Amino acid sequence: MITIAPSVLAADPLAMKSAVVALGDDVRLLHLDVMDGRFVPNVTYGPGLGKALCGLDLAPVEAHLMVEDPERHIPYWAGTGVFRLIVHAEATWDLLRTIQRIHGAGFQAGVAINPATPFAPLLEVLHAADLLLFMTVSPGFGGQELVPSVLEKLRRFDAATGGRHPPVEVDGGVGPAEVDAVVGAGARVLVAGSAIFGSADPAAALREMTRRAEAAVRTSATAGE
């Protein structure tokens, strides 16, 4: 299964609802980038937008918490309808306890690492995390170029785990041209902001990226990946 997750960070903030609704019925997951101005030099949204997006009843919503001490934020997402909280391994002193607290609060738990962060912490939470997010740009802003070294890191991770790990998500600089490379490296959830909302027809861009990604998965499967 492959999923393209539009990142609303790239949508027009003054037309967020119409931008998301315009994606049509093909959207399977929405990605909400939450930034605190400390873990990353940008400030964006909070639980209120998560609740509003879930209220549209268009697709499941995950929150990518680019925040320091993410465990402090967990309770404020209760009742929003967001189903997954993704925290950065770099942002918490006790990653396993944070995952347990996320689960205890009723959410799925994702763990993210930045491009220059080794994947070693992920090896210690394979049993606990529901999703692993390999940032393919330095977090904080959309519209950046994918950092190619992350794909090599992802291949090393896949080899180190024998392919036995939670689903991998990539986030940042992913457009149609990057689909084959990221799927070939093992990603199965592709976050895309600019490539979707920056296109003239976001619904068509979403369908095209989904088509390419599904074809890339089939190619990987026949190559006996």
CA 5 to centroid of chain Cα atoms: 7
To ligand DX5, the closest distance from the beta carbon of 197 in angstroms equals: 8
| Contact code string over 60-99 relative to ligand DX5, x by CB under 6 A | ----x-----------------------------------
Which of residues 100, 117, 144, 161 is near ligand DX5 by CB under 6 A? Answer: 144
In the bound state with ligand DX5, the residue whose beta carbon lies nearer, of 52 and 96, is 52
Q: Does 147 sit near ligand DX5 (CB under 6 A)? A: no
What residues contact 26, with CB distance under 8 A and at least 6 apart? 203, 206, 207, 210
In the bound state with Zn ion, the residue whose beta carbon lies nearer, of 138 and 220, is 138
Map the footprint of ligand DX5 across residues 166-195, applying CB under 6 A. Answer: 171-174, 191-195
CA 174, CA 181: separation in Å to the nearest integer? 10
Q: Does 3 sit near ligand DX5 (CB under 6 A)? A: no
The reply to whether 171 belongs to the active site is yes
In the bound state with Zn ion, the residue whose beta carbon lies nearer, of 130 and 164, is 130
| Helix/strand/coil for 33 | strand
Buried residues in 200-214 as b, exposed as e (16+ CB within 10 A): eebbebbebbbebbe
- Is 77 within 8 Å of 105 (Cβ atoms)? yes
- Is 60 within 8 Å of 30 (Cβ atoms)? yes
* Among the listed residues 27, 65, 9, 13, the one whose alpha carbon sits nearest the alpha carbon of residue 207: 27
Q: Does 33 sit near Zn ion (CB under 5 A)? A: yes
Helix (H) or strand (E) holding 16: helix 16-21
65 binds, among ligand DX5, Zn ion, none (CB under 5 to 8 A by kind): none
For ligand DX5, the binding residues (CB under 6 A) are 7, 9-10, 31, 33, 64, 137, 139-144, 171-174, 191-195
Residues with a known catalytic role: 33, 171
